[in-house]
Structure 1
Amino acid sequence: MFAKVYRHLKRYNPYSIYAAKSELKGEVSSSYLTWIWWILDPVLFMLVYVFITVVVFRSSGEYLPVVVIIGLTIWNFFNKNVSISVRIVNTFKGIVSKIYIPKYMLILEKMYVNFFKMLISFGIVAGFVIAYHIPLRLQLLQCIPLVVLLFILTLSCCVIVAHFGVYVNDLYNIVQVILRFMFYLSGVFYDIGDRLGSRMLFGFDLNWLMTHCNPIAYLIDELRQIIIYGEMMDPWLFLYWLIISLALLGIGLFLMYRHENSYVKVV
């Protein structure tokens, strides 16, 4: 199967890249503020969540805007791609029913679009880091493997929900509920360590449970520790989530290749 995936990536990936570029150009051409929205969108959301955190939850922090923008950057990439992927085959049924294309290429096209926007959001993170006089350290290079892990994890979840989304019409609503639940448990607008401290649940440290059971919570927390505080990445926890992500991706691709001929009949 892996040889087949490699051949298909080599053959069809240019289509996904071209389609992603076309989508980005289409967004720019249909907006008065064009590409400025790609900057305004994460900044405005960050301001909203900072307001909620400070005013509603009465929390504060020296680097609160940086904490929030990092959380939103990771969450938006994961959330948008998974939400789109549930109905991706139905959305492109005109293409799927006429020509053959590996269905995960449709997912990759959307992921490329959102990955480009995530890079812009990371540029905003860099701006806040400079504004808050946070030192630039060599540890920042550790962000690269974490972003790669985020991409693999997101792709694996997208492929799985895309497969089952063909057969279960209500899956989109179920996924939205799960994503909402994950949002509040991932520490998007709060620091997990500060908020949970050493609280226990069923005999387990709650902070440990969050980072070992919720990959988005782990990625957000790890990136914050590296970017803001210059901490070293936990290699074992990284390897733990990388193995899980690759395993999920393998399962998703297996299911998609095995059943993709029946997708046309269902949609």
Structure 2
Amino acid sequence: MLLDTFKAIKSNKDLIYHLTASDFKANNSRTYFGFLWWILDPIFYMAIFYLLVVVILDRGTPNYPIIIFTGLIPLKFVTAALVDGTNSISSKGNILQQVYVPKIIFVVVRLLVNCIKFLISAVVLILFLVIFGTEFSWYVLLFPLIFIINAFCLLGVMIFLAHLGVFIRDVKNMMQYISRVLLYLSPVLFEMSTVPDKLVPLLYLNPFTTILESYRDVLIYGRAPEWIPLLILTVVSLVILYFGIRLLNKNEKEYAKVI
């Protein structure tokens, strides 16, 4: 089943390229600042939390802006991909009713659009770290690998959200609140070293914790990422992806009727 899905993706690579390019342009043309919001949004959040924690509460560390920014950029990627995944199929009713397209294509397109935005934001993140005097180690070369694992983990979850988004239109609104919860249940605004030992396992129940800490490991801590948690997360994501693809295949004919 997975092999057939990969073959379908490969055979529709031209369609994926066209839809990705058109979606990326459409998203950026809806506002004056377009893609810049992907950079401005984390910067604004960083300024607010820095003002609250460092200036007002007199807490935090000298590298607190780095901690916040390396947390907010990946968080933006994850939450945007999940929110976009909810209507990746339901928003393509005009295509579904005219021609057959494997539904996985629409989910992959939404993931690719957000991947492009994240990679551009990552360049800004690297420049930000350079400005703050971060000394990089060779582990920074593992950043693309962590990004690939991150994207792969998102794909399976996005498939389930895309399915739910067809039958329950309120899912996208619910995801807005879930993304806010994710901000506070992940080590976005703090370092794991400051967390009491008894709470660390609880935080790692959140898959994003592993991804975020791995990004920080290679970017600012100069050490290897968390290989075992990453491996476990990859295996779990493969299982989720398998059942997600089965769900799409089972409901192929239903989507066009509902939409």
TM-score by shorter chain over 0.5: yes
Counterparts of 2:187 and 2:212, CA distance in 1: 7
Report 1:39-78 matches (<5 A): 39-55=39-55, 58-78=58-78
Contact 1:17 1:112 in 2 (8 A): no
Listed as ranges, the gaps of 5+ residues in structure 1 are 201-205
**Paired residue secondary structure (1:100):** coil
Q: Distance in 1 between matches of 2:36 and 2:19?
A: 21
1:252 matched to 2:244 = yes
Question: After the TM superposition, which residues 213-224 of structure 1 pair with which residues of structure 2 at under 5 Å, given as runs?
Answer: 213-224=205-216
> Post-superposition shift, 1:47?
2.4
1:233 partnered with 2:225: yes
Q: Output the CA distance in 2 between the equivalents of 1:39 and 1:174.
A: 24
Q: Which residue of 2 aligns with 1:203?
A: none
Counterpart of 1:168 in structure 2: which amino acid? I
Find the partner of 2:203 among 196, 204, 210: 210
Aligned to 1:265: 257
Instruction: Give the aligned CA root-mean-square deviation in angstroms.
Output: 2.2
Report deviation, 1:239. Answer: 0.7
Paired with 1:48 and 1:100, the residues of 2 have a C-alpha distance of 47
Decide whether aligned partners of structure 1 residues 180 and 101 sit closer, same or farther in structure 2, where only a CA change above 3 A counts.
same
Shift of 1:3: 2.5
1:211-243 per-residue CA deviation (whole Å, 9 max, x = no partner) reads 2x1111111122112211112222211111110
Q: SS where residue 88 of structure 1 aligns? A: coil
The code of the aligned residue for 2:226 comes to D
For 1:208 and 1:39, locate their aligned partners in 2 and report how far apart those are by CA, in whole Å.
Answer: 31
Which stretch has the larger CA shift, 69-78 or 16-25?
A: 16-25
Shift of 1:139: 1.0
Deviation larger for 48-57 or 58-67:
48-57
Whole-angstrom distance in 2 between the partners of 1:246 and 1:83? 21
User: What does 1:153-172 align with in structure 2 at a 5 Å threshold?
Assistant: 153-172=153-172
Between the aligned partners of 1:8 and 1:156, the Cα distance in structure 2 is 16
Partner of 2:86: 86
Query: SS at the partner of 2:188?
Result: coil
Structure 2: runs of 5 or more not aligned: none
Q: Kindly state the Cα deviation for residue 70 of structure 1 after the two structures are TM-superposed.
A: 1.4
CA distance in 1, matches of 2:173, 2:32: 32
**Which amino acid letter does the alignment assign opposite residue 128 of structure 2?**
F
Task: Give 3-state SS (helix, strand or coil) of 1:187's partner.
Answer: coil
Q: What are the superposed Cα offsets for residues 129-183 of structure 1, whole Å, 9 maximum, x if unpaired?
A: 2112221211112222211111011111100111122223433344333333222
Q: Secondary structure at the match of 2:251?
A: helix
CA drift at 1:88:
2.4
Counterpart amino acid of 2:150? L
Give the 3 Å change call, closer, same or farther, for CA 214–30 of structure 1 in structure 2. closer
Q: Is the Cα–Cα contact under 8 Å of residues 85 and 107 in structure 1 kept in the other structure? A: yes
Q: What is aligned with 1:197? A: 196
Residues 94 and 59 of structure 1, relative CA distance in 2, 3 Å threshold: farther
CA separation in 1, counterparts of 2:25 and 2:235? 36
Residues 122-131 or 15-24, more deviating: 15-24
Q: Could you tell me how far apart the structure 2 residues matched to 1:54 and 1:13 are?
A: 48
